């Protein structure tokens, strides 16, 4: 077995037929990792390895040579793997022979991350640059400073976080993309709803989901964090807005209205809102959130659509399949 082995994706590994024993190499991320104790008292690892094309599970015992490397990598760790194809209980379950963690440099190689996780289709750098212009568009000084303060604290995480664990914008940069899309919609709609305070609405949109940078953890393998489970992103985002609003000496009334947008943006308490939207800005933001969440599902489904199929699978968020065939061009 040598370095010259071509790197196979998980989808390609699974497509091999009757390949037991065949050597292969792949670069994969540790999607899930649990440490269990066997009845003899020895620890063993149960893990999922995957890339953006799929994943498979395997079990590693403590006397295996790769045990320590995988345990050290942890959830989200990226590994170069060499092994032999094998099947356990009828499912792909390769033997891992050699496992090497990727260095920071290697991780930066062009396209590598893109092969490991689903990424927002618009380039993150451009999205981030556009994001700054939305912050700058807030004319009220303390409000703009409040927003800027939050992103100085969480900006790097914010850029990578998905907008959800499943459902809409559930991929790398998804939160940045969803927030930008809402900001664009906000800017387009503000001239139509003059009773909405433009600065508060824009600030509310930029901050509404920032609690998710704390609620989710792991940039390559996302799960809800302890804080996320115990407090929820609504309260966490409210705390962020409050902290930086006070720091920026934002007047009490605007701070209260800004906090209210964050606390109410989920729409209904059963979806996670702490209170119902009770200001024009809060109603406006929660409606735009709902619109872009649904349209984000539509966009993602169309991107992943197979040209042979007329309809997508059933989408939970829409309670329906989606017609993915484009409209025929006019004659």
**Is residue 255 close enough to count as binding its own copies by CB under 8 A?**
no
Q: Compare residues 82 and 292 and give the one whose CB is closer to its own copies.
A: 292
Site membership for its own copies, residue 259 (CB under 8 A): yes
Residue 36 lies near its own copies (rule: CB under 8 A): yes
* Shorter beta-carbon distance to its own copies: residue 107 or 185: 185
Q: Tell me how far apart the alpha carbons of residues 25 and 101 are, in angstroms, rounded to a whole number.
A: 13
DSSP 265-293: TTSSGGGT-SS---SHHHHHHHHHHHHHH
When asked if residue 330 is in the footprint of its own copies (CB under 8 A), the reply is yes
| Nearer to its own copies (CB atom), residue 5 or residue 103 | 5
Of 159, 168, 173, 260, the one binding its own copies by CB under 8 A: 260
**Burial class for 290, CB neighbours closer than 10 Å (0-12, 13-18, 19+):** middle
User: Among residue numbers 170 through 209, which ones bind its own copies (CB under 8 A)?
Assistant: 181, 184-185, 188-189, 191-193, 195, 197, 200
- Nearer of residues 22 and 36 to its own copies, judged by Cβ: 36
DSSP character at residue 325: S
Q: How far apart are the C-alpha atoms of 135 and 156, rounded to whole Å?
A: 16
End-to-end Cα spacing for the chain: 58
Candidate residues 81, 238, 245, 248; the one interacting with its own copies per rule CB under 8 A: 238
Part of the chain binding its own copies (CB under 8 A), chosen from 103-111, 118-126, 165-173, 323-331: 323-331
> What is the Cα–Cα distance from 7 to 80, expressed in whole angstroms?
9
Q: Decide: is 321 part of the binding site for its own copies (CB under 8 A).
A: yes
For its own copies, the closer CB: 27 or 200: 200
Nearer to its own copies, 97 or 107 (CB): 97
Pairwise CA distance, residues 322 & 19, whole Å: 37
Any bridge partners for residue 172, and if so which?
Answer: 119
Measured distance CA(278)–CA(206) in Å, rounded: 19
Q: Does 304 bind its own copies (CB under 8 A)?
A: no
Q: Which of residues 217-236 bind its own copies (CB under 8 A)?
A: 226-227, 229-232, 234-235
**Cα–Cα distance between 181 and 164 in angstroms, integer?**
15
Least CB distance from residue 108 to its own copies, whole Å? 25
Rule CB under 8 A: is residue 7 a binding residue for its own copies? no
């Amino acid at each position: 077995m040598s370095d010259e082995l071509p790197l196979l994706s998980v989808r390609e590994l699974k497509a091999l037929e009757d390949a037991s024993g065949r050597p292969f190499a792949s670069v994969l991320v540790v999607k899930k990792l649990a440490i269990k104790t066997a009845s003899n008292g020895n620890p063993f690892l149960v893990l999922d390895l995957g890339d953006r094309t799929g994943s498979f599970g395997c079990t590693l015992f403590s006397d295996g040579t790769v045990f320590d490397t995988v345990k050290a990598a942890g959830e989200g760790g990226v590994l170069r793997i060499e092994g032999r194809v094998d099947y356990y209980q009828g499912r792909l379950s390769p033997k891992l022979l050699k496992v090497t963690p990727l260095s920071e440099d290697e991780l930066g190689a062009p396209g590598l991350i893109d092969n490991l996780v689903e990424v927002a289709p618009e380039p993150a750098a451009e999205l981030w640059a556009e994001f700054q212009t939305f912050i700058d568009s807030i004319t009220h000084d303390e409000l703009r400073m409040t927003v800027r303060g939050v992103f100085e604290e969480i900006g790097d995480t914010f850029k990578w976080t998905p907008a959800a664990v499943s459902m809409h914008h559930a991929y790398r940069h998804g939160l940045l993309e969803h927030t930008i899309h809402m900001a664009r919609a906000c800017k387009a709609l503000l001239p139509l709803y003059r009773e909405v305070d433009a600065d508060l609405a824009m600030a509310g949109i930029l901050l509404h989901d920032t609690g998710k940078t704390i609620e989710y953890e792991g940039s390559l393998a996302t799960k809800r964090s302890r804080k996320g489970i115990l407090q929820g992103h609504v309260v966490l985002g409210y705390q962020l807005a409050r902290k930086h609003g006070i720091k920026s000496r934002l007047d009490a009334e605007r701070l209260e209205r800004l906090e209210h947008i964050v606390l109410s943006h989920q729409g209904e308490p059963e979806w996670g809102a702490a209170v119902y939207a009770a200001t024009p800005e809060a109603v406006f933001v929660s409606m735009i959130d709902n619109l872009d969440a649904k349209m984000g599902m539509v966009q993602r489904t169309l991107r992943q659509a197979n040209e042979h199929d007329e309809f997508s699978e059933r989408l939970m968020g829409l309670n329906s399949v989606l017609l993915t065939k484009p409209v025929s061009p006019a004659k």
